[in-house]
Structures are given as structure tokens and as C-alpha cells.
Chains A and B, each alone.
Chain A
Amino acid sequence: MIHDFGIVWSERGLLLSGLANTAILSAFSAIGALLLGAALAPALMARHRAVSWAARGFVDGMRCVPFLLFAYIVYYGFPSFGVRLDNWTTGLAALTLYNAAYMAEILRGAWIVQPREPLEAGVAFGFSGIGLFRRIILPPLLLAAGPVIGNQMIQIIKDSAFLTIIALPELTHAASSIQSRHYVPFAAFITAVFLYWGLCLIIEAGVNSIGRVAEARR
């Protein structure tokens, strides 16, 4: 057993580059999904029926598709429409779009329980449109939804493992390569699990610090 971990250690370069790729992929997708979700949330809340239904359709659609299937669709389906993406772009787009739906729903959930008056005060004080959303509506939502957003970011990290199927050299892909090359499945995968766990701990630390910021304002 120790010997197996020795083999994994000898392949640490591969694992670390997989870890780095997972971190990069997750970070960019998390930021992208949050931004896109923040843009979708007002659409979900829009008084215009057409706008809110379109946003609702996207959000519900995404949430009902298994991520693995969605990744396949983006990877194999888009080229048949003439959109050819490399596996990095595919992976990033799939993770971002998929999780944007969740982020939008998380923000909408926080939005509907916010008191109405601060928003109204924003309008009464001359805020409107994007300025109203960005300065008055969104900050309390982010503070209120911080822990749930953090949870979704952990989900993004875990979903990124599916991207091994489109040969994206992320952490699961690296662990899988090591096990098939040396036949040390337990050592390779358990090492990957601990590395994922480490990434999630970083997210949790971030959520805790947002929690402290929110607590002072509650």
C-alpha cells in the first residue's frame, strides 16, 4: 500500500497540474456563473412576462439536465451547429452555463425574502436600472446568500470532475491516468479525493469570511 502511494508520489507533477487545472477551471466557472446568475436573477424577477419566462425556461432546463449529459451535448452537439470549441472552452462553457442557472435561482431565492423598503428607498433616491441593481439590490443578496453560493462553488469543483470525459486534463483525469498507467486505483483516487477536499476547505474559508462581513450587517 505504501508502495502504491510511492508510485502516486512519483507522478506528483501530473497530479499537481491536474489540481491546478481543476482550480483554474472551477475558479473561472464560479466567477462566470455568479456574474451570469446575477444577470439572470433580475430577468427571473422581471415584470415582463416574456423576459421572466425565457429566464425561467433556461434555469429550469439546466437544473433538470444531468451535468454529464450537458457536457456531452456541448462537446458533441455544438459542432453539429458549426460551433467548434476546444475541450477547455467546452468545459468552461458547460460548467459556467450549467451553474449560472443555480446561481440565478439562489440569488432569486435571497431576493424574494429581502425587505422591500431599502429597494424602494433606492428608487426614491434616484437609483434606477443597472445602478439600482448593482449598488442597492445585489450587495445584500450576496451577503445573505453567501453560504449557499459557497455551497454551489463546491458543487462546481465536483462537477468539474465530469469533464474528464472530454479529455480535459483536470484532477480526476490525472488520477485516472495514473491508475491506468500503474494500476494503483485506490492510492491514485484517494489522493485525488484529498486534493478535492483541500480545494473545498479553501472555499469554506472564503464563505466564513463573507459570513463575518454579513454578520456585522445583520
Chain B
Amino acid sequence: MTAATKVLDVAGVSKRFGSVEVLSDVSFQVDKSETVCVLGPSGSGKSTLLRCINWLEQPDAGQIYLNGSRVGINPGGAVMSDRDLSQIRTRIGMVFQHFALWPHLTVLQNLMEAPMQVQRRPKGEVRDEALALLAKVGLADKRDAFPARLSGGQKQRVGIARALAMRPDLLLFDEPTSALDPELVGEVLVVMRDLAREGMTMVIVTHEMGFAREAATRVLFLDRGRVVETAAPDKFFADPDTDRARQFLQRYAGEPAGGRR
């Protein structure tokens, strides 16, 4: 792939919290329309990696580029102002483990809030697009409901629609089904599968092995803050190169595909 089609380039990112090195020298790239699933045991730094991409956490070392432009650091080398960082963040959608919907706004308002307030797009256009997105995730009838009145699966579908309403270049998912009851996981994965098929560029931290195997274009296996393995899902799940990946997969082996919370 040429550099022009790289949506995300993570180069040598490290992050420590106190004495604990959470990420060490993590590098990977994501091409346009790729679905990269980040797998690994808990505490391996997966969430921190995602949060470094949009600078919710400031990496201690390394560079992050979105469509070729540096995230978080100005050309002069100084840390970006909140304003400049905001500009970049509007191009990176994020879906949170616990949904993180804004409780004081209705479903439709949740979708319209950032496009109108941050991106300053016209209300009519934002509204039409938001309604179309709600229809797409199957929640057109919930547009005037408040998040508190929705099931977990519905909340997460709103969370995905809210991220899409920003027209992002890249979508980040931080364990989007981990907080859901098992019977609600499926409805969220269906939406994510559709997005993958439509060519949305996504980085997904997940424990859903079935989903990763089926929908990922590439798997990134993280352990103790390092990228241990990166491979096509067929290869990774059938014949991983490292013992650590093999051990990790064995722990999931007894469970039905897509069935793990």
C-alpha cells in the first residue's frame, strides 16, 4: 500500500503509568477500509493504546499520524493546543465500553451534539444524517428516548451511530461488547460487521474471538504492552507464531465463537 492510503500510523509509541510500562514501542499501521482487531489478555495495554491514538492519554514516546498528519504534536514540536487537538479528534470516532452517552440528551441529540457544536455543521443536514444513522442501527423509533431508558445493546448501537455522525476517517472501539449481557452482544456485532463490510476503517479492541476471526482484515496481538504478533485472522487463529498467542487462544478455545462476554 502507498503512504497515501494509510489512515493511521502508530510508530514506536510507549506509555508508562508511574513505574509500570503499559505500552512499549508499539508500531502498526492501518490502511483505508481495514478492520484491525486488537487482542490480548487484560492488562496488556489494549485500551491505553486506543486512548493514545486520539490523545486521551498522552504517549511518552513515539508518533501517531492520522492521514499523514501528526496527532498531538505541532510541526514545531510543541504539544498541540486543545483547539488543534479537537480538530483532529473530530476525525476519529470512538465507541466506549460503557457507552458513555450523554445522559441529559435524547438519542437524536446525542448524535447531533458534536457535529453541531464542535464541527459547526448546519442543523438540517446534521439532523437528516443522524436520523439516517439511527435507522441504520435499527433505532429510528428511539430517537426521542433518553439513554437511561435503553438496553445495553441499544445504548451501544447509539454509541456507534454517534461516532459515525462525526463522519470520522477512523473509528476506535474500546471493548464495545464487554459490558453487555450475552444475549445483547449479537445486535452490536451485527452493526460492526456491516461497517466492516462497507469499508469503514476501524481499530477494535475486543474479546470477541468469533467476530475478530470473521470480520478482521488483520489481528494485532498485544501482551504486556508489546505487539507480539500481527497476522491475518485465519493465520492467527489457526496457527499463531508465538507460544504466548497460542496460550491466549487456548483459554478461549472452549467457548463458542462470538459467545464470550
User: How close is B128's CB to chain A, nearest CB, in angstroms?
Assistant: 20
Closest to A127 in B: B118
Q: Are B103 and A118 neighbours in the complex by a CB distance under 8 Å? A: yes
Alpha-carbon distance A118/B98, docked complex (angstroms): 9
Q: Chain A, 188-213, contact with B by CB distance < 8 Å: what is the 0/1 string?
A: 00000000000000000000000000
Annotate B131-158 by CB proximity to A: 1 below 8 A, 0 otherwise. 0000000000000001111000000000
- How many residues of B are counted as interface, with CB atoms below 8 angstroms from the partner's CB atoms? 31
Chain A residues whose CB sits within 8 angstroms of the CB of B146 once the complex forms: 216-217
Determine if B102 is an interface residue (Cβ-Cβ < 8 Å). yes
Nearest Cβ distance between residue B251 and chain A, in whole angstroms?
Answer: 28
- The answer, yes or no, to whether B114 is at the interface (CB within 8 Å) is yes
A128–B94 CB distance below 8 A: no
Q: Which residues of B contact A126 (CB under 8 A)?
A: 86-87, 89-90, 114, 118-119, 166
Measured in the bound complex, the distance between the Cα atoms of B86 and A136 in whole Å is 15
Contacting pair B102 A122 (CB below 8 A)? yes
B74 → chain A, closest Cβ, in Å? 16
Q: Is A140 in contact with chain B by the CB < 8 A criterion?
A: yes
Question: With A and B bound together, what is the CA distance between A19 and B70 in angstroms?
Answer: 62
Most chain A Cβ neighbours within 10 Å, of B82, B98, B102, B119: B102
Q: Which residues of B contact A65 (CB under 8 A)?
A: none
Q: How far is the CA of A136 from the CA of B104 in the complex (A)?
A: 9
Whole-angstrom distance between the alpha carbons of A131 and B102 in the complex?
A: 14
Instruction: Tell me, yes or no, whether A218 is within 8 Å of chain B by CB.
Output: yes
Shortest distance from the beta carbon of A167 to any chain B beta carbon, whole Å: 43
* Interface residue tally for chain A (C-beta within 8 Å): 22
Is the C-beta of B187 less than 8 angstroms from some C-beta in chain A?
Answer: no
Does B236 sit at the interface, judged by CB under 8 A?
A: no
Q: Which residues on the A side are within 8 Å of B90 (C-beta)?
A: 125-126
Say yes or no for A115: interface residue by CB 8 A criterion. Answer: yes
CB <8 Å contact, A135 and B98? no
How many inter-chain residue pairs (CB < 8 Å) link A and B? 72
CB distance from A48 to the nearest CB of B (A): 15
* 8 Å CB interface, A106-131 against B: 115, 117-118, 120-129, 131
A44 adjacent to chain B (CB < 8 Å): no
Q: Are A129 and B100 in contact (CB under 8 A)?
A: no
Q: Chain B residues near A154: list those with CB within 8 A.
A: none
Confirm or deny: A143 has a beta carbon within 8 angstroms of a beta carbon on chain B.
yes
CB contact under 8 A between A121 and B104, given known A127-B86, A217-B146: no
Residues of chain A within 8 A of B162, CB atoms compared: 125
Q: Give the residue of A121, A128, A139, A140 whose beta carbon is less than 8 angstroms from that of B100.
A: A121
How far, in Å, is A158 (CB) from chain B's closest CB? 30
Contact B86 A128 (CB under 8 A): yes
Nearest opposing residue in chain B for A214, CB measure: B104
Q: Which residue of A lies closest to B89 (CB)?
A: A126
- Judge whether B190 is part of the interface by a CB distance below 8 angstroms: no
How far apart are A202's CB and chain B's nearest CB, in angstroms? 24
Decide: A127 near B114, CB < 8 A? Known: A120-B56, A217-B146, A217-B148.
yes
A125 touches B114 (CB 8 A): yes
CB-CB nearest in chain A for B166: A125
Chain B hits for A115, CB < 8 A: 98, 100
Contact with A along B91-134 (1 / 0, CB 8 A): 01010111111111000000001100111000000000000000
Q: Contacts A126-B90, A127-B117, A128-B82; is A121 near B54 (CB within 8 Å)?
A: no
> Which among B82, B96, B119 is the interface contact of A121 at CB below 8 angstroms?
B96
Asked if B73 CB lies within 8 Å of chain A CBs, one says no
Other A-B contacts than A127-B86, A140-B102, A216-B149, 19 sampled, CB-CB below 8 A, are A117-B96, A117-B98, A117-B99, A118-B101, A121-B100, A121-B101, A121-B102, A123-B89, A124-B56, A124-B89, A126-B166, A127-B114, A127-B117, A127-B118, A128-B82, A128-B83, A135-B117, A143-B104, A218-B148
| A and B contact pairs by CB, cutoff 8 A, 16 listed | A115-B98, A115-B100, A117-B97, A118-B100, A118-B101, A121-B102, A122-B102, A124-B92, A125-B94, A126-B87, A127-B118, A128-B85, A135-B117, A140-B103, A217-B103, A217-B148
Closest 3 CB pairs of A and B: A117-B100, A128-B82, A121-B100
